[in-house]
Structures are given as structure tokens and as C-alpha cells.
Amino acid sequence: MGASAVTVRWTPSRDYARGSPALADLLPDIHTPMQIIAGRRDTAVPPVNSEFLHERLPRSKLDILDARHFTWEDAADECAALVTSWWSGGYATTGSAAAR
């Protein structure tokens, strides 16, 4: 079975669901483990966008921190711990979205 390529024009948006409708259909086919870290108080890219991705990416992990857009600055210790855990093998335990 050969691989197929799909090109989607994606424009950054504050609302992924309305801004890039083709994105929703493609996400379930991405099986690469994904760590999603969002800021609860992010007004540039609201957390609903991270939830949208998490609900559709079958091997994603979502952490919403008490931070604004720059989570790595606002919640540096917590963000660093999440990334370190992910790099240390946490990605291997990320299950499917259907199991959530």
C-alpha cells in the first residue's frame, strides 16, 4: 500500500474549528504521539483550540496550565516537568482518543 500526500492550506486562527475545517478531517489519521500544552488564560490562542486538537488526535496528551500564551515563561517549572517527562518516555504511554 503506497503512502498518499495531502496538502492543506492552514492559516493560523484563534478558532481552529472554523478557521481550518479541513484540519478536523485529517487529525484522526495522525498517529504520532503529541504533547499539547496550553495556557488556561491564553487570549491569543484560547485553550479551546488545544481541546479541539486533543479530541481528534488519537495519541495526544493535553495539559492546560495556569498560564497565558507563553506557558514556558508563565509556568516554567510545570512546563519543564511536562516536557522532560514526555522526552523521558511519557509519549510511549499516550493512548488513543477513543479510550479517553
What are the residue boundaries of the structural domains of the chain, listed by start? 14-75
What pLDDT score does 98 carry?
44
What pLDDT score does 97 carry?
46
pTM over 0.85: no
Task: Give the whole-angstrom CA distance, residue 30 versus residue 76.
Answer: 28
What pLDDT score does 15 carry?
60
Task: Give the whole-angstrom CA distance, residue 19 versus residue 15.
Answer: 6
What pLDDT score does 25 carry?
84
Report the 3 state secondary structure along 39-54: ECCCCCCCHHHHHHHH
pLDDT (tens, 9 = 90+) of the chain, 100 residues, equals: 455 555 555 555 556 666 667 778 889 999 999 999 999 999 988 999 899 999 999 999 999 999 999 999 999 999 999 999 999 988 888 764 444 4
